[in-house]
Structure 1
Amino acid sequence: MRIGVHDTHRVDLMSVEVGWELLWKSMNIYEEKEVHSLRNIGFAIIRTCGFLPLAIKVTASVLASKDQTENEWNRILSKYACSQSMLSNEIEGALYLSYDDLPHRLKQCFLYCALYVEDSAILRRVITRLWIAEGFINEQPGQLLEDTAEEYYYDLIHRNLLQPSNGSFDQAVCKMHDLLRQLALSISKDECFIGDVETLKGENISKLRRVTAVNKKDRLVLPSMNKVEVKVRTFFTGHGPQSIEDTLFRRFLLLRVLVLNYSLVQSIPDCIGKLIHLRLLDLDYTGISCLPESIGYLKNLQILSLNYCDSLHKLPLAMTKLYSLRCLSLLDTVINQVPKGIGKLKFLTDLRGFPVGEGSDNTDVQDGWKLEELSSVSLLRYLTLVKLERATHCSSNTVLRDKKHLKALVLEWTSNSEYVSKTEKVFEHLIPPRNLQTLYLIGFIGRRYPKWFSTTCLSSLLHLILRNLRSCVLPPVGQLPNLKYLRIEGANAVTKVGPEFVGYKNGDPHCTELVAFPKLEWLIITGMPNWEEWSFFDEEALANERGDDGATQIQKDDAQTAKLQIMPCLVKLKLLGCPKLRALPPQLGEDTIGLKNLELVETNNLKTVEDLALLSEVLIINKCEGLKRLSNLPRVSELHVSGCPNLSHVDGLISLRRLWLGEDMQEISRSWVPGLQMQHQHLHREDLDVYTMFSS
């Protein structure tokens, strides 16, 4: 019996052996003999964990950092007895051990996560900002606070105190398990409150430091506080309130974090300038149309988030007085007027939604910032440039290249331009530093890519996202040495993906040594309505290049020598909305030795999916109306099929353990499901698990 990583159900008391296996494997010990002498103590630890997989895993994280001796493990057991007497139940006692083992800096960060309501997604970029604003992050020599905060985040994941989302490639999204959240709330119950603030009494407010207001009414009403001293440092609002009393801004004078997002608040009062300790102000998704000039009094403000504010078109002049500002985020907020002097904010590390414009020499307010204004902002770590079509020139190649901390860059063109050549010249000057790890290209309107789009300038790139490209070709990125994640969305003009995408050129003398996408792990391609052909190299061209004296053919063994290796590290491949694609490249079944997950959605022109001998776990197929045959998939263990009315032949799935069928597949599957069941019974002496997927 195997236990899922996030399974919250108790296992049977007789499954102590299963718990023991989970314990030592969770410690990254791959041979039981390494801890065999500790087996009996291990059984006792498993019992204290209530046979709960979550508790076993977090306890294993504690044990992994200790000496593997009987004395050390017995010490952990004795600490459990002490913690159990402090908390409400045995499971909390077991989980408390992992909390108690944290250094002080991580304890604060862990407890803070409990402010998120149950089952909320926790975004890395958001929670690390909150920790910084609260002062939880210790400064490290030569390192930005944001980098240190991310180290804290991944440390909590490594200790199994935060669970990363399965759909997130780089663990950028996580959740807090309900039991761990209950533990955190139990530990911090005197300082934290989550619920309807109207139910609070004045004397209770005096003890609170952090509040999440869950209010379903249109107006957020605070309780009567009379002369009570309010020491709340963090205040979150949940979804819903259309207005908030000025009391929040007049009485909560020690606030460091104020999050009003997802509310319909339409105005911020002038008295916000009195919150002189405020370090983070989050107004995402609000209905505000302006910010008061009094915001300039917030000298300690580090983070200002104004994403998705549809009615906000102008930033106040006082913005340039926020000299402590580290993050300014304006994503999908159409800002038409900005104050001159963004370069004065020299501590900016995160600038999202920078509206490009031509600036102005004569006024304090301008229609966008010049690219050159970024030259003096040297600490940038994440940068999003929007409306790049409005840049008529870029006078220097060093606007971005000298920014040694820059890890992520987003370049966005929001509309068409008649000046394609000018756009390409500006793009050519936006040379990123060699340490860049993430690059987004959104809406590029040019026909050719810059020369710096090469293995030299992008040697550190890990993530590349190409969205809504207007060009008929994709950039040559197959030779980027460290690229792990590639996503292509909405390249409507592309009809063929071939050798140019790999980075191979006819006549290349090193073609026999080429490995295409050497470290790529995830490849996701969506919204390619005109894409028909997919190949990695031109075998005929390779053959012709090897001929002598005008010969056009080579021997068969020479052709095999010229074969290229394709995506040897690929784990996940997803194709969505590619209705004209006729076939998958055969190399997917030959070179992708790590391929575990293949998902095909709305690839209507595919007739067969076969000979993928290396695909080892899950195959998901949905809305592929032309698909007729699935064959020779010997390592696939789980198959999901729906929306395939012509699928009449399925065989060669000798490792299949679970079959999921859509409601619409019940009739057509009768011709091949019995064969799969007979095969499974013959090979494994048990029935094949078949499930029905019901449409929502």
Structure 2
Amino acid sequence: MKEVLRSIGVHYDTDENEGELSSKLKAAIQEESFFLVLDDVWQSNVWTDLLRIPLDAAATGVVLVTTRDDTVTRAIGVEDVHRVKLMPIDVGLELLWKSINTKERDVPDNLRDIGLDIVRKCGGIPLAIKVTASVLATKEKTENEWKKFIDRSAWSVSNVPTELRGALYLSYDDLPRYLKQCFLYCALYPEDQFMLREDLVRFWVAEGFIEKRQEQLLEDTAEEYYYELIHRNLLQPDPRFYDHRWSKIHDLLRQLAQHLSGREIFFGDLQSLEAKDLSNRRRISAFTDKDSVMLSNVGQEHIIRARTLMIRSRKTPRIANTIFRRLPSIRVLDLTDSSIESIPDCIGSLIHLRLLDLDGTIITYLPKTIGFLINLQILNLQRCNALRNLPMEINQLCKLRRLGLGGTTIDRVPNGIGKLKFLNDLEGFPIGNGNDNTKTQDGWNLEELAPLLQMRQLHMIKLERAAPCSTTTSEILKDKRHLRVLNLECTERTEVYSEEEISNIETIFARLIPPRNLEDLYITGLFGQRYPAWLGTSHLSSVKQLYLTKCKSCVHLPPMGQLPNLRYLKIVGAAAINKIGPEFHGCRETSPGSLGVVAFPKLEMLDIIDMPNWEEWCFVEERENDATVGIGGEDDGGVDIQNRDGVSSFLQLLPRLKELRLDGCPKLRALPWKLGKEATSLKKLKLGGTSCLKVVDGLLFLTETLQIMGCEGLERVSSFPQVRELRAQACPKLERVNGFGNLQHLWLAEDMEQIARRWVPGLQEQHQRLHKEGIDVHTWIY
């Protein structure tokens, strides 16, 4: 019901009950018409008990239901049923070859016949074909191997529900032992909820699922497990993230995991469980919409034998701290965003506890008995805004691997964190200039990081408080061969930094040289006037993701175009920059031997946001006798750079760029004229708050979406022959839109309806002439 209210723009409070929400929906829909889609419905009561009565108040309405269960359609009273046809055999065979990265012409006839049998066994279901292909991909492409595969008894197993048999069960049965338990663990998450890679990695490590490999951290091995589940199509990655850090499990595969886990796990409202049943569960994921998580059916003296307890709620559930007395066997305890007010001293008796997640709780202190948790590996305290200090006993957690302090106000910390030799993940590490003679201090010294050789992820804050660098500072990070993620952050403040502070921070950043294996780098709030010299050099040859946020005083961007593996670049709040030129790609001049240079060779996503003084963007400096060319101008292809000897060298730009977003750049006058010629893989262009742009045209290779929002000076958009979707909002001067020969969907905000009348007929006429049909025009509610 809340989803419906959100979709029609009705506000509600988080503590409103079902009756109050129903009344709001009824009032909003009174005498109106609606079209409601209920997707993938498994229980009819979502309509019969929840939505039907308030929606009866509407004048007219249409409800579209998708389901795999015929009893749902009958209970809801569906009038017209459309049964989706199964995938044809030939199309299914094409999907099979594509899923194993094989072209059909390369498949021998004997394997093609077996492939047909496999597709038939999959029953024309795309998911079944994909997971089967993932299993096949692990086998040799020989007739004997494929015949053994198709003859396996797992195809005909009978002890699972009918819809989970065949290919779905086979995809699980083929997993190595170490992956089976990781896959089953995903059943503890709600249906359709995205799971964060780092969360799964930490859970799996704490549960003891990860096999130790020589010279490799458990977290790195766990991450390999995660990606193997994706490659096997058992997890579905969120396409918005290039590194697939978010994923979810298909509902059928989730049902399979729940079925195979049997009575070992429980997902749902704890109040539905009897005491005896609760005590037999090894892993419990309590998910509820209620205000509190209560064990009302379980006597206060009853012991819960679970090894895992997760609390999940759309609200902030109240949890009594007596819960700690009843979990003697607990290994994983996740109380994220609950309103538990204090942690009792008895927590020290939970000697098996390996993961304690208190993210977003309102606790004000940690008891000293926390030091008795000798097996604790992961302690998450992010967003604990009332927590100010860490007790000295933290240093007794000799097996600690992660300490999460991000988003807290913790400042007073114990001296000696370097003694925790297994620590490899530090988030929100406050830097200070502490006195080694005190037991507690205001932040840790940089030098205390030196003994932590297993460091894998490091997030340092308050770097402005670091003491002037010693000669050893440059080695603090450089020798950490496991370091993959580095976040360097200074505090934003209203007062101006002194020249001494600026000089010191520039020196500190210059000496914090990361190792060559670093993959993700975040720099936030750097108040110096220049970036460190190591940024943008070949030293960072492994960096895939780079964020530069609120570095307001840096007047030039570092030369990042030659980072060979950079895939995602985000620049936010670089207020001192008014021009981005050839220094950005680092190829201003080239030597005669540097032919065929590629700038940003692997960059896929580029976001430039909140640049209030940025006026000009170019890839090549114009020579005096060159004519100024707009983005739609003619040229002969690549960028031709002249070096001092007069020798031309060819520069290729952004060959893999898929998405470009410019937002909050009010003074930018034009896009680079080479962008339309060089970015041959571009799929999405999003422009927002670029008020000075008057013309956007000539992006011939843009294929999917052009989105323009708040471009108040924009007058013309043209020459986008491949774009399939155009979205426009708050562009009051946009009087000319043409050259969209392949446009299929046009989304217009209400404020665009009047001015769009000047060019929508022309677009419709062109589309009708080329495709014998009109363009679909929609109202864009953003």
TM-score, normalization: structure 2? 0.82
Q: How many Å separate the matches in 1 of 2:677 and 2:178? A: 48
Compute the displacement of 1:273 (Å).
Answer: 0.7
Q: What is residue 491 of structure 1 aligned with on the other side?
A: 574
Q: What is residue 415 of structure 1 aligned with on the other side?
A: 492
Moved more, 480-489 or 39-48: 39-48
Among 660, 679, 682, the alignment partner of 1:592 is: 679
Compute the displacement of 1:385 (Å).
Answer: 0.7
Give the conservation status (yes or no) of the 8 Å contact 2:615–2:669. yes
Q: In the superposition, relative to structure 1, how do residues 666 and 12 fare at CA in structure 2: closer, same or farther (>3 Å)?
A: farther
**What SS does the aligned partner of 2:547 have?**
strand
Q: What is residue 645 of structure 1 aligned with on the other side?
A: 732
Amino acid paired to 1:404: R
Does 2:778 correspond to 1:692? yes
Give the conservation status (yes or no) of the 8 Å contact 2:336–2:360. yes
Does 2:454 correspond to 1:369? no
Does 2:278 correspond to 1:205? yes
Q: Percent identity?
A: 52
Among 302, 306, 309, the alignment partner of 1:232 is: 306
Among 605, 615, 618, the alignment partner of 1:522 is: 605
Give the conservation status (yes or no) of the 8 Å contact 1:386–1:413. yes
Q: What is residue 103 of structure 1 aligned with on the other side?
A: 176
Moved more, 663-672 or 245-254: 663-672
Moved more, 675-684 or 112-121: 675-684
Does 2:591 correspond to 1:503? no
**What SS does the aligned partner of 2:522 have?**
strand
1:253-268 aligned at under 5 Å gives the runs 253-268=328-343
Does 2:478 correspond to 1:401? yes
Moved more, 17-26 or 34-43: 34-43
Q: What is residue 54 of structure 1 aligned with on the other side?
A: 127
1:116-155 aligned at under 5 Å gives the runs 116-155=189-228
Does 2:462 correspond to 1:380? no
Among 425, 431, 436, the alignment partner of 2:518 is: 436
Compute the displacement of 1:391 (Å).
Answer: 0.8
1:544-555 aligned at under 5 Å gives the runs none
Compute the displacement of 1:163 (Å).
Answer: 0.7
Q: What is residue 391 of structure 2 aligned with on the other side?
A: 316
Q: What is residue 328 of structure 1 aligned with on the other side?
A: 403
**What SS does the aligned partner of 1:277 have?**
coil
Does 2:527 correspond to 1:445? yes
Q: What is residue 114 of structure 1 aligned with on the other side?
A: 187
Compute the displacement of 1:538 (Å).
Answer: 1.0
Query: Over aligned residues, Cα RMSD in angstroms?
Result: 2.8
1:235-250 aligned at under 5 Å gives the runs 235-239=309-313, 240=315, 243-250=318-325
What do the CA deviations read for 1:220-271 (whole angstroms, capped 9, x no partner)? 3224258766431110011345543344322211111000011111211111
Q: How many Å separate the matches in 1 of 2:435 and 2:141? A: 67
Does 2:611 correspond to 1:537? no
**What SS does the aligned partner of 2:674 have?**
helix
Q: What is residue 547 of structure 1 aligned with on the other side?
A: none
Compute the displacement of 1:79 (Å).
Answer: 4.4
Among 544, 549, 557, the alignment partner of 1:467 is: 549
**What SS does the aligned partner of 1:189 have?**
helix
Among 609, 615, 632, the alignment partner of 2:696 is: 609
Q: What is residue 658 of structure 2 aligned with on the other side?
A: 571
Compute the displacement of 1:672 (Å).
Answer: 2.7
Q: In the superposition, relative to structure 1, how do residues 32 and 614 fare at CA in structure 2: closer, same or farther (>3 Å)?
A: same
Does 2:388 correspond to 1:278? no
Q: In the superposition, relative to structure 1, how do residues 451 and 110 fare at CA in structure 2: closer, same or farther (>3 Å)?
A: same
Amino acid paired to 1:195: G
Q: How many Å separate the matches in 1 of 2:87 and 2:479? A: 62
What do the CA deviations read for 1:464-499 (whole angstroms, capped 9, x no partner)? 100011223222222222222111112122221112
Q: In the superposition, relative to structure 1, how do residues 513 and 160 fare at CA in structure 2: closer, same or farther (>3 Å)?
A: closer
Give the conservation status (yes or no) of the 8 Å contact 1:202–1:226. no
Q: What is residue 159 of structure 2 aligned with on the other side?
A: 86
Give the conservation status (yes or no) of the 8 Å contact 1:436–1:458. yes
Q: How many Å separate the matches in 2 of 1:241 and 1:108? A: 30
Amino acid paired to 2:445: K
**What SS does the aligned partner of 2:540 have?**
coil
What do the CA deviations read for 1:281-311 (whole angstroms, capped 9, x no partner)? 1110111111111010111111111101110
Q: How many Å separate the matches in 1 of 2:646 and 2:744? A: 39
Q: What is residue 354 of structure 1 aligned with on the other side?
A: 429
Give the conservation status (yes or no) of the 8 Å contact 1:382–1:406. yes
Amino acid paired to 1:212: S
Q: How many Å separate the matches in 2 of 1:253 and 1:77? A: 46
Moved more, 338-347 or 115-124: 115-124
Compute the displacement of 1:531 (Å).
Answer: 1.4
Q: What is residue 480 of structure 1 aligned with on the other side?
A: 563
Q: In the superposition, relative to structure 1, how do residues 565 and 8 fare at CA in structure 2: closer, same or farther (>3 Å)?
A: farther
Amino acid paired to 1:349: N
Compute the displacement of 1:525 (Å).
Answer: 1.1
Q: In the superposition, relative to structure 1, how do residues 31 and 308 fare at CA in structure 2: closer, same or farther (>3 Å)?
A: same
Give the conservation status (yes or no) of the 8 Å contact 2:686–2:708. yes
Does 2:669 correspond to 1:582? yes
Amino acid paired to 1:414: T
Moved more, 643-652 or 418-427: 643-652
**What SS does the aligned partner of 1:564 have?**
strand
Question: Runs of 5+ in structure 1 lacking a partner?
Answer: 1-5, 544-553
Amino acid paired to 2:396: K
Q: How many Å separate the matches in 2 of 1:588 and 1:241? A: 48
Give the conservation status (yes or no) of the 8 Å contact 1:83–1:96. no
Compute the displacement of 1:436 (Å).
Answer: 1.2
Amino acid paired to 1:235: L
Moved more, 360-369 or 87-96: 87-96
Give the conservation status (yes or no) of the 8 Å contact 1:383–1:408. yes
Compute the displacement of 1:587 (Å).
Answer: 1.2
Q: How many Å separate the matches in 1 of 2:108 and 2:575? A: 57
Q: How many Å separate the matches in 2 of 1:668 and 1:299? A: 68
Q: What is residue 706 of structure 2 aligned with on the other side?
A: 619
Q: In the superposition, relative to structure 1, how do residues 534 and 382 fare at CA in structure 2: closer, same or farther (>3 Å)?
A: same
Give the conservation status (yes or no) of the 8 Å contact 1:138–1:145. yes
Amino acid paired to 1:277: H
Compute the displacement of 1:683 (Å).
Answer: 3.1
Compute the displacement of 1:20 (Å).
Answer: 2.3
Q: How many Å separate the matches in 1 of 2:233 and 2:183? A: 11
Q: How many Å separate the matches in 1 of 2:586 and 2:132? A: 48
What do the CA deviations read for 1:584-630 (whole angstroms, capped 9, x no partner)? 10111122222222222222222222111222333222332322222
Amino acid paired to 2:755: I
Question: Runs of 5+ in structure 2 lacking a partner?
Answer: 1-39, 41-65, 69-82, 627-640
Amino acid paired to 1:432: P
**What SS does the aligned partner of 1:238 have?**
strand
Amino acid paired to 2:532: P
Compute the displacement of 1:534 (Å).
Answer: 0.6
Give the conservation status (yes or no) of the 8 Å contact 1:521–1:571. yes
Q: In the superposition, relative to structure 1, how do residues 625 and 144 fare at CA in structure 2: closer, same or farther (>3 Å)?
A: same
Q: What is residue 77 of structure 2 aligned with on the other side?
A: none
Give the conservation status (yes or no) of the 8 Å contact 1:84–1:94. no
